[in-house]
Amino acid sequence: MQAKITELRGARIYDPTHGIDGEVRSVFVSGDGIVASPRDPGTIKELLDLSGCVMMAGGIDIHTHIGGGKVNIGRMLLPEDHLAERSTRGEYPRLGSGRYSPSTLLAGYRYAEMGYTACFEPAMLPANARQAHMEMADTPIVDKGAYALLGNDDFLLRQLAGGADPKLIQDYIAWTLHASQALAIKVVNPGGINAFKFNQRRLDLDERNAAYGITPRQILLALAEGIHALGLPHPLHIHGCNLGVAGNVNTTLATIEALAGLPAHLTHVQFHSYGTEGDRKFSSGAQRIAEAVNANANISIDIGQIMFGQTVTESGDSMRQYAGSAFAYPKKSVIMDIECDAGCGVVPFKYKDSSFVNALQWAIGLELFLSVTDPWRVFLTTDHPNGAPFTSYPHLIRLLMDRSFRRDMLATILPEAAAASVLGSLEREYSLYEIAIITRAAPARSLGLSTLGHLGIGARGDITVYTDHPDRERMFKAPRLVYKAGEQIIREGKIVATPRGATHVVRPEFDSSIERLLDTYFDQYMSVRRANFMVSDHEIEEFGQSPLIRHTARR
Amino acid sequence: MISLTLNVALTAGLDLAAINPTAFAGLNLAKIERLRIQYGPAQVRLADLFRITGTLDESLEINSESATLHGIGSALNSGKITLNGDAGDYLGAGMRGGEVVCAGNAGERAAAGMRGGRIEVTGSVGNFAGGTLMGATTGMKGGALIVGKHAGARLGDRMRRGLIMVRGNVGPQAGSQMIAGTLALLGGTATGLGTGMRRGTLLVADRDAVLPASFVVTGCYALPFVAVLCRHLAALKPPWRSRLAAFTEIERAVGDRGCDGLGEILIARGE
User: Tens of pLDDT along A348-407?
Assistant: 999 999 999 999 999 999 999 999 999 999 999 999 999 999 999 999 999 999 999 999
pTM equals: 0.90
pLDDT beyond 70 at B241: yes
Asked if the structure places residue B243 within a domain, the reply is yes
Which pLDDT score, from 0 to 100, does residue A374 have? 96
pLDDT at B166 over 70: yes
pLDDT in tens, A428-444: 999 999 999 999 999 99
B126 and B222 belong to one structural domain: yes
Q: Which residues of A touch B41 (CB under 8 A)?
A: 88-89, 95
Say how far apart CA A370 and CA A69 lie, in whole Å.
34
Closest Cβ–Cβ partner in B41, B43, B135 for A80: B135
Residue B165 lies in a domain: yes
Are B112 and B14 members of one domain? Answer: no
Distance from CA of B132 to the nearest CA of A (A): 11
SS3 per-residue string spanning A137-154: HCCCCCEEEEEEECCCCH
pLDDT tens for each residue of A501-510: 999 999 999 9
Task: Count how many Cα atoms sit within 13 Å of the Cα of residue A77 in the half-sphere of its side chain.
Answer: 25
Same-domain check for residues B116 and B169: yes
Provide the 3-class DSSP secondary structure of residue A14. Answer: strand
CA distance B222 to B208: 19
Tens of pLDDT along A399-435?
999 999 999 999 999 999 999 999 999 999 999 999 9
Tallying the residues shown for chain B, one arrives at 271
Calculate how close chain A gets to B33, using CA atoms only, in Å. Answer: 20
Q: How far is A128 from chain B (nearest CA, A)?
A: 25
Mean pLDDT for the stretch of residues A3-28: 95
DSSP for A354-385 reads TSHHHHHHHHHHHHHHHH---GGGEE---TTT
Residue of A nearest to B36 (CA): A88
**pLDDT at site B84:** 96
Which band of pLDDT confidence, cut at 50, 70 and 90, is reported for residue A342? confident
Whether the pLDDT of residue B70 is over 90: the answer is yes
- Which distant-in-sequence residues (6+ apart) come within 8 Å of B222 by Cβ? B248, B249, B250, B270
Under an 8 A CB cutoff, do B41 and A95 touch? yes
Q: B134, A83: Cβ pair inside 8 Å?
A: yes
The B-side interface with A (CB below 8 A) comprises: 38, 40-43, 133-137
Q: What angle do CA A213, A215, A216 make, to 5 degrees?
A: 145
Q: How many CB pairs under 8 A join A and B?
A: 29
Q: Which residues are within 8 A (CB) of A154 and not within 5 positions of it... i.e. 6 or more apart?
A: A194, A340, A341, A525
Residues of A with CB below 8 A from B40's CB? 89
- Provide the 8-state DSSP code for A92: B
Q: How far is A181 from chain B (nearest CA, A)?
A: 34
With both helix axes pointing from N to C terminus, report the angle between A286-295 and A248-259 in degrees, rounded to the nearest 10: 10
Q: How confident is the model at residue A132 (pLDDT cuts 50, 70, 90)?
A: very high
> Considering the domain boundaries, does residue B81 fall inside one?
no
Q: What contacts A295, CB < 8 A, 6 or more positions away?
A: none
pLDDT digits (tens, 9 = 90+) for B181-217: 999 999 999 999 999 999 999 999 999 999 999 999 9
Please say if the pLDDT value at position A555 is more than 60: no
Q: What is the mean pLDDT of residues A272-289?
A: 95
Q: Are residues B65 and B191 in the same domain?
A: no
pLDDT of residue B134: 87
Average pLDDT over residues A244-252: 95
pLDDT of residue A245: 94
The nearest CA of chain B is from the CA of A338 a distance in Å of: 23
pLDDT surpasses 60 at B57: yes
Tell me the CB-side half-sphere exposure of residue A374, using CA atoms within 13 A. 14
Pick the closest to residue A328 from A307, A344, A342, A314 (CA basis): A314
Chain A residues in contact with chain B using a Cβ-Cβ cutoff of 8 Å: 77-83, 86, 88-90, 95, 330-332
Q: In this structure, how many other beta carbons lie within 10 angstroms of the beta carbon of residue A291?
A: 13
In chain B, residues with a C-beta closer than 8 Å to the C-beta of A325 are none
Q: Which of A78, A89, A95 sits opposite B135 (nearest CB)?
A: A78
Alpha helix positions (H), A85-215: 104-113, 129-137, 154-161, 166-180, 192-196
Which of A81, A82, A83, A347 to probe by mutation at the B interface, max B CB count within 10 Å? Answer: A83
A82 to chain B: which residues are within 8 Å by CB? 134
The pLDDT of A439-467, averaged and rounded, is 96
Measure the N-to-C terminal CA separation of chain B; round to a whole number of Å: 46
Mean pLDDT along residues A293-298: 96
Three-class SS state of A428? coil
Cβ separation B137–A331 shorter than 8 A: yes
Question: Is B133 contained in some domain?
Answer: yes
Name the nearest CA neighbour of A145 among A504, A446, A484. A504
Q: What is the pLDDT at residue A375?
A: 96
Q: Are residues B213 and B104 in the same domain?
A: yes
Answer yes or no: do B137 and A88 touch at CB < 8 A: no
CB contact under 8 A, A80 and B43: no
Shared domain check, B163 and B50: no
Q: Are B206 and B174 in contact (CB under 8 A)?
A: no
Give the residue with greater pLDDT, B104 vs B134. Answer: B104
Verify that B25 and B138 share a domain, yes or no: no
Q: Kindly indicate whether the ipTM for this predicted assembly is greater than 0.85, answering yes or no.
A: no
Q: What is the DSSP string of A516-540?
A: HHHHHHHHHH-SS-HHHHSPPHHII
Q: Which of B39, B70, B101 is the last residue of a domain?
A: B70
Chain A residues touching residue B139 (CB < 8 angstroms)? none
Q: Is residue B66 part of a domain?
A: yes
If asked whether residues B124 and B218 sit together in one domain, one would say: yes
Clarify whether residues B151 and B118 are in a common domain: yes
* Structural domain span for residue B247: 87-268
pLDDT at B9: 93
Task: Please tell me which residue of chain B has the smallest CA distance to A74.
Answer: B135
Same domain, B258 and B132: yes
Looking at chain A, how many residues does it have? 555
pLDDT exceeds cutoff 70 at A82: yes
Cα separation of the two ends of chain A: 39
* Residue A543 DSSP label: I
- Residue B79 in any domain: the answer is no
| pLDDT value, residue A408 | 96
Q: What is the 3-state secondary structure (H, E, C) of chain B?
A: CEEEEECCCCCCCEECCCCCHHHHCCCCHHHHHCCEEEECCEEEEHHHHEEEEECCCCEEEEECCCCCEECCCCCCCCCEEEEECCCCCCCCCCCCCCEEEEECCCCCCCCCCCCCCEEEECCCECCCCCCCCCCCCCCCEEEEEEECCCECCCCCCCCCEEEEEECCCECCCCCCCCCCCEEEECCCCCCCCCCCCCCCEEEECCCCCCCCCCCEEEEEECCHHHHHHHHHHHHHCHHHHHHHHHHHCEEEEEECHHHCCCEEEEEECCC
Which band of pLDDT confidence, cut at 50, 70 and 90, is reported for residue B270?
Answer: confident
Alpha-carbon distance A380 to B138, whole Å? 38
Three-state DSSP string of A221-257: HHHHHHHHHHCCCCCEEEECCCCCCCCHHHHHHHHHH
Question: For residue B136, which residues of chain A lie inside 8 Å, CB to CB?
Answer: 80, 330
Mean residue pLDDT across chain A:
94
B41 and A330: CB-CB below 8 Å? no
Whether the pLDDT of residue A305 is over 60: the answer is yes
Q: Are A330 and B137 an interchain contact pair (Cβ–Cβ within 8 Å)?
A: yes
- pLDDT tens digit sequence for A87-114: 888 889 998 999 999 999 999 999 999 9
> Could you tell me which residue, B112 or A69, shows the higher pLDDT?
B112
pLDDT score at A315: 93
pLDDT at A554 over 80: no
Peptide bond into A21 cis (omega under 30): no
Domain count, chain B: 2
Residue A5 belongs to what H/E stretch?
strand A5-9
Classify strands B69-70 and A53-57 as parallel, antiparallel or unpaired.
unpaired
Of B26, B42, B70, the residue that ends a domain is: B70
Q: How far apart are CA B48 and CA B10, in angstroms?
A: 11
Q: How far is B2 from chain A (nearest CA, A)?
A: 27
Other beta carbons within 10 angstroms of residue A120's beta carbon come to 28
> Does B41 sit within 8 Å of A89, measured CB to CB?
yes
Interface mutation target, options B134, B137, B141, B158, chain A, most CBs of A under 10 Å: B134
Domains (ranges, CATH) in chain A? 5-57+453-495 (2.30.40.10), 59-447 (3.20.20.140)
B64 within a domain of the structure (yes/no): yes
> Number of helices (H) and strands (E), helices first, in chain A?
21, 26
Chain A: give the shortest CA distance to residue B248, in Å. 41
The pLDDT value recorded for residue A2 is: 64
Same domain, B179 and B100: yes
Verify that B20 and B64 share a domain, yes or no.
yes
B78 found inside a domain: no
CA A452 to CA A485: how far, in whole Å? 10
**Which pLDDT belongs to residue B271?**
80
- The alpha-carbon gap from B41 to the nearest alpha carbon of chain A, in Å, equals 5
Answer yes or no: do B133 and A88 touch at CB < 8 A. no
Q: Cβ separation of B41 and A80 shorter than 8 Å?
A: no
Residue B42 has pLDDT above 80, yes or no: yes
